[in-house]
Amino acid sequence: MAQDTVEAVITGKQATRDATAASRRGEAWAALVFLTPWILGIVLLTALPMIGSFVLSFSNYDLLSAPRWVGTANYERLLFSDPRYLKSLEVTTVYVLVSVPLAVAVALIIAVTLSEATRSANFFRGVYYLPSLLGGSVAIGVLWRQIFGSSGLVNISLSGLGFQTTSWIGDPRYALWTLIILNVWQFGAPMVIFLAGVRQIPKEVVEATIMDGANPVQRFFRITLPLLSPLILFNLVMQTITAFQAFVPAYVVSDGSGGPIDSTLFYTLYLYLEGFRNFRMGYAMSMAWVLLVIIAVFTALSFYASRFWVHYES
């Protein structure tokens, strides 16, 4: 009797194990079916083109004839004998280093100001987010030309006030700065993230600082800023990556030339001109790969530096 019971238990356990294994196999198939479109997408639309572009970056390729292997010649030319490339790198670096911290700082200040849940704050949150919805579009590029052009809104205002006017987008000293202003103006996305972060700061912690005698400025620098530091890092990294890839504003404002005198020749604009105007695809691809490395190094440095100023809750 006891033996029968033991056998029944063993048989039962075996049956349970079989059923579990079968159900796991079923789940694995279901997972594969659901994942297939995305796996295919990554392989066909991302991985293969990336590998292809990496290989082609070692070639001369004009889209019309077959690629010709040139070894590291494209990379050598980039780094050592193309002053226009170095100019584009300089323009883009200035653009990133000035506009990204400014945009993040403006986003942070506006978010902290608008963090109170009043009706007017809700309205202004919407208003301030609007430029981010429009910012990357061609229409805003065109609008920027109208605002900063020689007979644009800025000049009309300045001449009305008796100041001397200039063509802001036509003057190589100022053209890049109009694009920096455009990027700073699009602070909506980081602002929304900061707003969420400010709301996460416990009310009692803020009240504790009030009881401890901290004024609003001390509260901002000693409590709000450190507690938002993970989001500041996130926004800096995301904005940096986006800014390195900025293309549309420079293309529209400079009529696709990067002018005047290459003063708005963004990295991606020069890449586009080399690839699609001059049909030097191999060279353009080598530029793309160097940009990837630059962005990766910037991001890695940001994360390395973050250990000295970013506070994580857990």
Footprint on this chain of other proteins (rule: CB under 8 A): 202, 204-205, 207-214, 218, 222-223, 226-227, 229, 311, 313-314
In three-state secondary structure terms, 270 is helix
Q: Which is nearer to other proteins, 194 or 270 (CB)?
A: 194
Environment class of 169 (CB within 10 Å of its CB; exposed 0-12, middle 13-18, buried 19+):
buried
Check: CB of residue 268 under 8 Å from CB of residue 94: no
Close Cβ partners of 238 (under 8 Å, ≥ 6 residues apart): 190
Check: CB of residue 95 under 8 Å from CB of residue 184: no
Q: Which is nearer to other proteins, 71 or 203 (CB)?
A: 203
Give the tokens for residue 28. 């694995």
Q: Which is nearer to other proteins, 4 or 313 (CB)?
A: 313
Distance in Å, CB of 205 to other proteins, minimum? 5
Distance in Å, CB of 5 to other proteins, minimum? 39
Distance in Å, CB of 232 to other proteins, minimum? 13
For residue 126, how many C-alpha atoms fall within 13 Å in the half-sphere facing its CB?
Answer: 6
Check: CB of residue 60 under 8 Å from CB of residue 72: no
Q: Which is nearer to other proteins, 124 or 309 (CB)?
A: 309
Cross-strand partners of 68: 60
> What ranges in 114-247 are assigned the alpha helix state H?
119-134, 138-148, 153-160, 175-185, 188-200, 203-211, 216-219, 225-244
Cross-strand partners of 60: 68
Distance in Å, CB of 236 to other proteins, minimum? 18
Rg (the chain; Cα; Å)? 28
Distance in Å, CB of 209 to other proteins, minimum? 8
Q: Which is nearer to other proteins, 25 or 222 (CB)?
A: 222
Q: Which is nearer to other proteins, 162 or 213 (CB)?
A: 213
Q: Which is nearer to other proteins, 34 or 308 (CB)?
A: 308
What span, in angstroms and rounded, lies between the C-alpha atoms of 163 and 262? 27
* Residue 68 phi, psi dihedral angles, 5° rounding: -120, 125
Distance in Å, CB of 206 to other proteins, minimum? 9
Q: Which is nearer to other proteins, 98 or 223 (CB)?
A: 223
What span, in angstroms and rounded, lies between the C-alpha atoms of 52 and 271? 17
Distance in Å, CB of 313 to other proteins, minimum? 6
Distance in Å, CB of 211 to other proteins, minimum? 5
For residues 142, 147, 152 and 153, what is the CA-based torsion angle, rounded to 10 degrees? Answer: 140
